[in-house]
Amino acid sequence: MSGTSMSCPHISGLAALLKAAHPEWSPSAAKSALMTTAYTHDNTNSPLRDAADGTLSNPWAHGSGHVDPSKALSPGLVYDTTAEDYIAFLCSLEYTNEHVQAIVKRPNVTCARKYSDPGQLNYPSFSIVFGSKNKRVVRYTRELTNVGAAGSVYRASVTSPSTVRTIVKPTRLVFNNVGEKQKYTVTFVALPGAEKTARSEFGSIVWANPQHQVKSPVTFAWTQLID
Choose the weakest-confidence range: 122-126, 129-133, 153-157, 205-209. Answer: 129-133
Q: How wide is the angle at C-alpha 97 spanned by C-alphas 92 and 103, nearest 5°? A: 85
**Domain residues of the chain, as ranges?**
3-75, 82-121
Q: Are 47 and 41 in contact (CB under 8 A)?
A: yes
User: 73-124, pLDDT tens digit by residue?
Assistant: 999 999 999 999 999 999 999 999 999 999 999 889 999 999 999 999 999 9
Q: Is the peptide bond before 170 cis (omega within 30 degrees of 0)?
A: yes
